Amino acid sequence: MGPIYQLIKPESLLEDHIYFYTYFKSFIPEDECIYMMPSSDIKLSFNFADCAFIKDIREKSLAPVKTAAHVILGLQTKRNFDLILKKNTLYNSLVVFFKPHGFYDIFNISPASITDHYFSLEGKAGKELTELADKLSRIGYLCDQATLLNNYFIKKLEQIQVKRSSIAFASQSILSSAKTLNLKKLACDCNLSPRQFERIFKEFVGISAMKLQSINRFETCLKLKERIPQKKWTNIAFEAGYTDQMHLVREFKKLSLLTPSSIHWKSGIDGKHWHFLRKLVDVNNV
C-alpha cells in the first residue's frame, strides 16, 4: 500500500487559531532525510507507529536522536533540524498546524519559549495532551480524530478565556501578504508604538514581526516555484519583494543553508512528505 495523505480544516471557531490537521501514513523502504525548513507555523505532532530520528544540524558532533512519540515543534526561523525516517519502518502521524498566535491562544504557553526548538508533549504541555494522544491513537479516521481535536481545542479556548489581541490581526496581515509590509504602519493600525508593537508581537508569536516577514517571503517563493516550476527565480524574487535575485539567494542560504535551485530539488517536488514542508498547500485557500 502506498503513502496515505489526508488534510482537513478545523471547525470555524478554530480557524483563527489553526490552519489544518494532516494525517500521514507510509512504510519507509529506505532511509529518508527530510529537511525541516523555516516555517511560520507551530506543529503539534502525534506519532502512532515507529518514531523518527531528529538531527540538530546546529550541533554537528551530535548523532541523530530518537524523538518522543508525540512532540511540539516550535516556529522555525531557519533550518535547525533534519528529520530522519529509518528504512523498514512504519511512519504514522497526525499533525496540528497552529497559526503563529494560535498556540498561545489555546495553551497560554509563550511561543518564544519553543521557537527554534522541539519538545516532548508531556514535558512541555503535561499529561492532559498525552491522554489526548492515547484517545487519538484508538481512532482510525482523520475526520473522527479532527472532531476530537476540535472539541478539545474549543474547550481549551473557553477555559483560558482568550483576549484576542490586535497582534492576531498583524500576524495574519503579514502571512497573507506576498510582499513586505511597512511595520511602522502596521503598529499604527494596531494602536501601538513601534516599540510596544515589537514587544507584544514577540510575546504572542514567538519571534519578531520582521523575522516572520522573512520566513513568509521564503515560503511564498517555494509556493510560487511549486505552482509554476518553469518560472525563473529572478521573477520569483521580484514577486516576493526581494530587491534582486542575489538578495533572494542570500536569504535562502541564511534560512535553509541551501541555494534556491538545490532546495527546490532536495525538498522533493513530487509531493512526498508535503505536510512537513507545507509547500503544496496554500493555507489561505485550503
Degrees to nearest 5, angle at CA 185 with 180 and 187: 105
User: Which pLDDT value is given to residue 180?
Assistant: 85
Q: What is the pLDDT of residue 255?
A: 92
Would the pLDDT of 276 be above 50?
Answer: no
Burial letters for 163-176: b for 16+ Cβ neighbours within 10 Å, e otherwise?
eebbbbebbeebbe
Cell of 35: 529537511
pLDDT for 192: 85
Which of 219, 202, 252 is CA-nearest to residue 97? 219
Residue position matching grid coordinates 558532533: 61
Count CA within 13 A, CB hemisphere, residue 259. 5
| pLDDT confidence of residue 275 | 38
Residue type at position 103: F
User: Mean pLDDT, the chain, as a whole number?
Assistant: 84
The correct answer on CATH 1.10.10.60 for the domain covering 166-266 is yes
Query: CA 94, 99, 102, 104: dihedral to nearest 10 degrees?
Result: 90
Which one-letter amino acid corresponds to residue 244? Answer: D
Whole-number pLDDT of residue 120: 82
The identity of residue 273, as a single letter, is H
pTM, two decimal places: 0.77
Quick check: 107 pLDDT over 50?
yes
Note the pLDDT tens digit of each residue in 158-188.
876 544 668 888 998 999 887 889 999 999 9
Where along the chain do its domains lie? 4-162, 166-266
Write out pLDDT tens, residues 207-253.
999 999 999 999 889 888 888 888 999 999 999 889 899 999 999 99
Q: What is the pLDDT, as a whole number, of residue 126?
A: 64
Residue 282: per-residue pLDDT: 41
Instruction: Give domain 4-162's CATH number out of 3.40.640.10, 2.40.10.120, 2.60.120.10, 1.10.287.3610.
Output: 2.60.120.10
Identify the pLDDT of residue 183.
94
Q: Is the pLDDT of residue 18 over 90?
A: yes
Could you identify the residue written with the cell 502571512?
Answer: 175
